[in-house]
């Protein structure tokens, strides 16, 4: 017994020495996880590093460092639960635990999750997994891991300081880049209103359809060509437009948004091109238009299909010549603007109806990007749902979605796209009293859609093409067989006379003519 104890102490001292000698988090946690796996005994062990925004990233699998590992959203799965509560958690029946829904396809039967940190700051989560039902976890395993963590306080303190410095350094580098851009702008005499300055935001979407769209958008950002964004309302066309602007040479310039549906025809012309007026004392008043405000930047014109033919003609002249006239002005002005326009209407159909100019369409659609509806991006629905669920929430306020909720969300058609999904998820968060959002927390119309779909499937699953005559024959024969060949009972049940039944059977070739005449 003393020999085993001495071996354990020696092994733990060796582990501590190894961990003290490295500041590479992948090596650090790979060595730690190998030691824990050998001591506890499990089929597999993973390590997720806790990131600055409390999301998590896989960095080690079975003691081997993982590059570009899987990322978990804030609050997702057992890692999200442990990060939020800062307490260990295990389940010996993952099939019945909603937190482990994602691990089921990996064959995980039981799992123990342990938070690793120092002085209240979490830096990683350990995940011990069993792939068969023979092994189970218990409190003794948690106590054993806790003893290991207690013995490596110095290495953990070093790693915590290193990661904190690393995060701080990344933030400082970003601020330095922003400051350098600001100084460069001042050096060139640029004066840009902060109200029109935008920063690129991370786009959610990992499905192939969305990835292809982003590649096309990034290629568009390298050119100065006009871009037409098409797609249903609420699909995120404005976010794509911002990405194109922020990755273009105009990223330091203004990004101005003009929504045509918010104004009537006269107001649109004034807002877009500007207004010049003179009062009774001959004082000149000028109101800059969106085209002037967006000078050296990008102008996003939303719902361009709402423009009248008169304004369309004026806009095509600006695109061709680079000059425009304010309302009430005779002297044109120049403005260097990159145009991005969006529409949820079918512009080709409007052209056929004479409501949209051909030449304008060809000018704005030099690059045409179709933004897919959310129902065509089912793989991204869960990502969006978790984003909306825990957006701007503290760790202890974050919640999780049950597997049945995710299934319902993926089956629903989402006519309102991302806006509708956001409203549904925010409502569900409020209604869910616990930490798990269940199906009954969703809006009624979301679940009804699923029920209607199931009802239709059940109703038509056995449908086949058949004539009315064949259908009658089939029903009569099945009824006769069910009643053991008793023609009297069959006729009564069918609501016809026995003679009519005999005539029917004769026409089917099931009885001879004599029998019918003998009746």
Element of type H or E holding 302: strand 297-302
Position 60 scores a pLDDT of 93
Could you report the per-residue pLDDT of 134-169, keeping only the tens digit for each? 889 999 999 999 999 988 999 999 998 998 888 888
- 182 inside domain: no
Same domain for 245 and 124, yes or no, is no
Q: How far apart are CA 405 and CA 401, in angstroms?
A: 6
Cα separations in angstroms, 318 against 7, 314, 315, 451, 512? 82, 7, 5, 53, 89
Position 517 scores a pLDDT of 33
Same domain for 438 and 504, yes or no, is no
Task: Report whether pLDDT(72) > 70.
Answer: yes
Task: Report whether pLDDT(7) > 80.
Answer: no
Residues ≥6 apart with Cβ < 8 Å to 1:
none
CA atoms within 13 A on the CB side of 294: 23
- 194 inside domain: no
> For position 421, which CATH number holds?
1.10.8.60
Same domain for 337 and 420, yes or no, is no
- 184 inside domain: no
Same domain for 78 and 40, yes or no, is yes
Whether 408 contacts 446, CB under 8 Å: yes
Same domain for 453 and 501, yes or no, is no
> For position 226, which CATH number holds?
3.40.50.300
Higher pLDDT, residue 470 or 421? 421
pLDDT band at 284 (very low <50, low <70, confident <90, very high): low
* Helix 25-40 with 2-20: angle, nearest 10 deg: 170
CA atoms within 13 A on the CB side of 389: 29
Same domain for 382 and 400, yes or no, is yes
Residues pairing with 298 in the sheet: 255, 338
Instruction: State how beta strands 44-50 and 89-91 pair.
Output: unpaired
Q: How many CB atoms lie within 10 A of CB 87?
A: 11
**C-alpha of 306 from chain center:** 30
pLDDT band at 470 (very low <50, low <70, confident <90, very high): confident
- 174 inside domain: no
Cα separations in angstroms, 457 against 44, 412, 451, 463, 501? 41, 15, 10, 10, 35
Same domain for 241 and 308, yes or no, is yes
Q: What percent of the chain has pLDDT over 70?
A: 88
Domain boundary among 163, 188, 220: 163
- 181 inside domain: no
Structural Rg of the chain based on CA atoms: 34
Same domain for 363 and 399, yes or no, is no
Short-list 327, 281, 326, 271, CA closest to 302: 271
208: helix, coil or strand? helix
Same domain for 18 and 124, yes or no, is yes
Position 372 scores a pLDDT of 93
Q: How far apart are CA 222 and CA 229, in angstroms?
A: 16
Whether 389 contacts 437, CB under 8 Å: yes
- 190 inside domain: no
Tell me 371's DSSP state.
Answer: P
Domain boundary among 415, 436, 460: 460
- The lowest-confidence range among 18-22, 39-43, 194-198, 325-329 is 194-198
Residues pairing with 116 in the sheet: 124
Q: How far apart are CA 332 and CA 101, in angstroms?
A: 63
Please give the backbone phi and psi of residue 284, each rounded to the nearest 5 degrees, phi first. -90, 130
Number of helical H runs and strand E runs in the chain: 20, 18
Residues pairing with 343 in the sheet: 230
CB < 8 Å & 24+ apart, contacts of 344-347: 344/230, 344/231, 344/232, 344/233, 344/303, 345/303, 345/305, 347/228, 347/230, 347/305
Q: How far apart are CA 443 and CA 424, in angstroms?
A: 6
> For position 472, which CATH number holds?
1.10.10.60
**Residue 500: which domain range?**
468-518
Could you report the per-residue pLDDT of 221-258, keeping only the tens digit for each? 999 999 999 999 989 999 999 999 999 999 888 999 99
Position 302 scores a pLDDT of 94
Cα separations in angstroms, 79 against 48, 86, 113, 375? 8, 10, 7, 28
Whether 255 contacts 242, CB under 8 Å: yes
Higher pLDDT, residue 508 or 323? 323
Q: Over range 406-426, report the average pLDDT.
A: 91
Same domain for 25 and 137, yes or no, is yes
Cα three-residue angle 255-226-367, rounded to 5 degrees: 125
- 91 inside domain: yes
Position 193 scores a pLDDT of 46
Tokens of 268: 């649109």
Position 185 scores a pLDDT of 53
Q: In 327-360, which positions are buried (b, 16+ CB within 10 angstroms) versus exposed (e)?
A: bebeeebebebbbbbbbbeebeeeeeeeebbeeb
Cα separations in angstroms, 298 against 221, 254, 257, 384? 11, 6, 9, 28
Domain boundary among 355, 370, 385: 370
Q: How far apart are CA 354 and CA 52, in angstroms?
A: 54
Q: How far apart are CA 240 and CA 210, in angstroms?
A: 11
Spell out where 62-100 has E strands: 64-65, 71-72, 89-91
Q: How many domains does the chain divide into?
A: 4
Element of type H or E holding 214: helix 208-221
pLDDT band at 204 (very low <50, low <70, confident <90, very high): confident
pLDDT band at 283 (very low <50, low <70, confident <90, very high): low
């Amino acid at each position: 017994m003393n020999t085993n104890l001495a071996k354990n102490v020696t092994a733990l001292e060796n582990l501590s020495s190894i961990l003290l000698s490295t500041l590479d988090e992948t090596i650090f946690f790979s060595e730690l996880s190998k030691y824990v796996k050998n001591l506890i005994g499990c089929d597999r062990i993973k390590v997720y590093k806790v990131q600055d925004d409390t999301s998590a990233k896989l960095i080690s699998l079975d003691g081997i460092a993982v590059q570009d590992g899987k990322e978990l959203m804030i609050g997702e799965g057992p890692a999200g639960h442990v990060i939020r509560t800062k307490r260990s958690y295990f389940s010996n029946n993952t099939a019945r635990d909603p937190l482990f829904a994602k691990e089921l396809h990996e064959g995980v039967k039981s799992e123990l999750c342990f938070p690793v940190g120092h002085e209240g700051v979490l830096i990683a989560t350990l995940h011990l997994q069993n792939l068969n039902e023979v092994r189970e976890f218990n409190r003794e395993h948690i106590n054993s891991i806790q003893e290991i963590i207690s013995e490596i306080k110095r290495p953990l303190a070093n790693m915590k300081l290193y990661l904190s410095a690393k995060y701080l350094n990344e933030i400082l580098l970003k601020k330095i880049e922003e400051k350098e851009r600001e100084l460069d702008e001042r050096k060139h005499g640029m004066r840009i209103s902060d109200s029109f300055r935008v920063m690129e935001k991370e786009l959610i979407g990992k499905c192939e359809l969305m990835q292809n769209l982003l590649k096309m958008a990034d290629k568009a950002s390298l050119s100065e060509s006009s871009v037409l964004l098409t797609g249903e309302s609420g699909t995120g066309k404005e976010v794509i437009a911002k990405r194109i602007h922020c990755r273009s040479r105009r990223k330091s310039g203004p990004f101005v948004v003009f929504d045509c549906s918010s104004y009537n025809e006269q107001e649109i012309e004034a807002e877009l091109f500007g207004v010049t007026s003179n009062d009774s004392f001959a004082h000149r008043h000028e109101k800059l238009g969106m085209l002037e405000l967006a000078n050296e930047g990008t102008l996003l014109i939303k719902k361009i299909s709402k423009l009248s033919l008169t304004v369309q003609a004026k806009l095509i002249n600006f695109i061709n010549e680079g000059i425009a006239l304010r309302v009430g002005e005779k002297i044109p002005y120049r403005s260097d603007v990159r145009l991005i326009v969006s529409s949820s209407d079918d512009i080709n159909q409007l052209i056929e109806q004479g409501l949209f100019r051909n030449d304008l369409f060809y000018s704005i659609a030099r690059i045409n990007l179709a933004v897919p509806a959310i129902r065509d991006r089912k793989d991204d629905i869960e990502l969006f749902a978790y984003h909306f669920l825990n957006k701007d929430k503290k760790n202890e306020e974050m919640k999780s979605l049950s597997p049945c909720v995710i299934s319902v969300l993926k089956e629903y058609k989402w006519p309102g796209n991302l806006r509708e999904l956001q409203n549904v998820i925010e409502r569900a968060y409020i209604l869910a009293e616990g930490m798990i959002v269940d199906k009954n927390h969703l809006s009624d119309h979301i679940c009804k859609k699923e029920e209607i779909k199931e009802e239709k499937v059940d109703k038509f699953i056995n449908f086949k093409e058949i004539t009315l005559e064949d259908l009658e024959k089939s029903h009569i024969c099945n009824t006769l067989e069910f009643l053991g060949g008793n023609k009297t009972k069959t006729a009564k049940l069918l609501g016809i006379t026995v003679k009519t039944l005999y005539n029917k059977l004769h026409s089917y070739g099931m009885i001879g003519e004599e029998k019918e005449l003998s009746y």
